[in-house]
Amino acid sequence: MRTGRDRRCGRMEDNMKNMTLKNIAGACGGRLCGGGEDLEIAGAVTDSRLVEKDFLFFAIQGERVDGHKFIPQVMAKGAACAVCEKAPISGEGEAAGPYILVKDVKKAMQDIAAFYRSGLSIPIVGITGSVGKTSTKEFIAAVLGEKYHVLKTDGNYNNEIGVPLTLFRIREEHEAAVIEMGINHFGEMHRLSRMAAPDIVVMTNIGDCHLEALGSREGVLKAKSEIFDFMSEDGTVIVNGDDELLAGIKEINKKTPVTFGRDKNNTYYFCDICSKGLFGTEAQLHIPSGDFKVKIPLPGDHMVYNALAAAAVGEALGLTAAEIAEGIAAVQPTAGRSNLICCGDRVIIDDCYNANPVSMCAAIDLLAWADTRKVAILGDMFELGENAKKLHGDVGRHAAESRIDVIVCVGELSAEMAKEAETANTGESEVFYYPEKESLLGELHGLIKPGDTVLIKASHGMGFAEIVEKWKG
């Protein structure tokens, strides 16, 4: 019986535990003005459009929009209080309701999130890594959902604004939370960990991403390892044991990490993989309590790693093998993340949410399983540092060596991808290059034939979702 799934998720109208305006001001070192010390908030947001009655509004000053100008508007909608860096003024020239005055709204939000987290007794799973964070989050949430009422990170809310907003969504009815944590600079994970204080840490892999700021894979590992800074002392660390850098983590808080992967030396490992092509995989999972078969509804060998990570978290939180298998089988695809879309007689692999060399090659490997003509529409990968051209070239070479029928490279950096694809081409691939997305869109229908399987992938900033929508429409 799926007890976790049968529970009803209540609206966020219940007040947040211990979150009076007095406590909130104390948590962030702010000055409460306008009274209301004992008022309890019902939610917390940074978007004025999402404000409801008794919500706390963080007036963040962004590059384009200053949240302070919306304070009178949110107070009129029934907000309990605003956190701001300057005293708000209503249209009548008076203070617009209770407010908490702070030096830095973003820092205050993080302090308040850490305070709120400290009052929660539910287990929190923190997920980080270079590739696969979001899909791993989905697997873990699906597995834990077989037994618990789970809150998980929505969308891309995995940064210094998204993590506190996710924590603020936790309510009394939640029994576990799965928090995705992403970074691109040193110090960021330290701040995320201070807020989330995870009881279980999952690290998916260490790849070639964010190298502009982090310098090397070793730098990436160092930055992501800041997640251990505020992990609970008796917490559990779960890492991909097939990643040589993660395998080098021997002890955290005097405990040996739990490992997962293909290698049988891992605590959790898989074998007897049977691919169902684009429609998933079957595999045998070995876990400390025994072996069992699973049906993984999402395609690609890398999804088996996600299933193993979810199994490790599930066992750590008391789930049975049967519950774990049910949860894995129930995982749903996420838009922009290897999501299969049938468009008439064509199949689109929508993987345009983001990209780096590891995930790009994994997506190409997935496309290679198709039993139709294979088309890869690949775009620029950002934040790769001084090795960007070489890494793009490596992807192009991998696409050609994988015998992808049509390789379409889009963007300035992808010129190197096209060049290396042509060099590695043995005559089985057609290679096309477009300097920008707009020039591709005009010729798209001429490149793709009836019955094709088409992979669409690039960094989010390339806007490849427009290509997906063009085909869906």
Domains in the chain (CATH in brackets) are: 21-103 (3.40.1390.10), 120-329 (3.40.1190.10), 339-472 (3.90.190.20)
Distance separating alpha carbons of residues 373 and 367, to the nearest angstrom: 10
Contact between residue 308 and residue 262 where contact means Cβ atoms under 8 Å apart: no
Angle at which helix 302-316 crosses helix 321-329, to 10 degrees, equals 140
CA contacts within 13 A on the Cβ side of 6 = 4
Six token digits for residue 61: 């000053």
Reply yes or no on whether the pLDDT at 247 is more than 80: yes
- Average pLDDT, integer, range 310-339: 89
Phi, psi (degrees; rounded to nearest 5) at 349: -95, 100
In this structure, the number of other CB atoms found within 10 A of the CB of residue 256 comes to 11
DSSP 8-state code for residue 69: G
Contact between residue 204 and residue 130 where contact means Cβ atoms under 8 Å apart: yes
- Average pLDDT, integer, range 282-294: 94
- Average pLDDT, integer, range 48-56: 96
Residue from 440, 400, 389 nearest 422 by CA: 400
Which of 171-185, 206-220, 225-239, 297-311 has the weakest average pLDDT? 206-220
Reply yes or no on whether the pLDDT at 10 is more than 60: no
Per-residue pLDDT, 473: 53
Residues near 472 by beta carbon (within 8 Å), at least 6 away in sequence = 341, 343, 348
Residue from 84, 104, 108 nearest 95 by CA: 84
Phi, psi (degrees; rounded to nearest 5) at 289: -85, -5
Six token digits for residue 272: 């007897």
CA–CA distance from 405 to each of 279, 313, 424, 426, 453 (Å)? 20, 40, 13, 11, 10
Distance separating alpha carbons of residues 277 and 298, to the nearest angstrom: 10
Six token digits for residue 179: 């928090």
CA–CA distance from 138 to each of 28, 145, 195, 355 (Å)? 32, 10, 21, 18
Measured in Å, how far apart are the chain's first and last C-alpha atoms?
39
Distance separating alpha carbons of residues 269 and 284, to the nearest angstrom: 9
Contact between residue 124 and residue 133 where contact means Cβ atoms under 8 Å apart: no
Contact between residue 34 and residue 95 where contact means Cβ atoms under 8 Å apart: yes
Per-residue pLDDT, 95: 57
How much of the chain, in percent, has pLDDT values that exceed 70? Answer: 94
Reply yes or no on whether the pLDDT at 4 is more than 50: no
Residue 385: band (very low, low, confident or very high) from pLDDT cuts 50, 70, 90: confident
CA–CA distance from 280 to each of 43, 254, 273, 394 (Å)? 39, 38, 11, 27
Reply yes or no on whether the pLDDT at 192 is more than 70: yes
Give the SS3 label for residue 421: helix
Residues near 316 by beta carbon (within 8 Å), at least 6 away in sequence = 200, 236, 238, 258
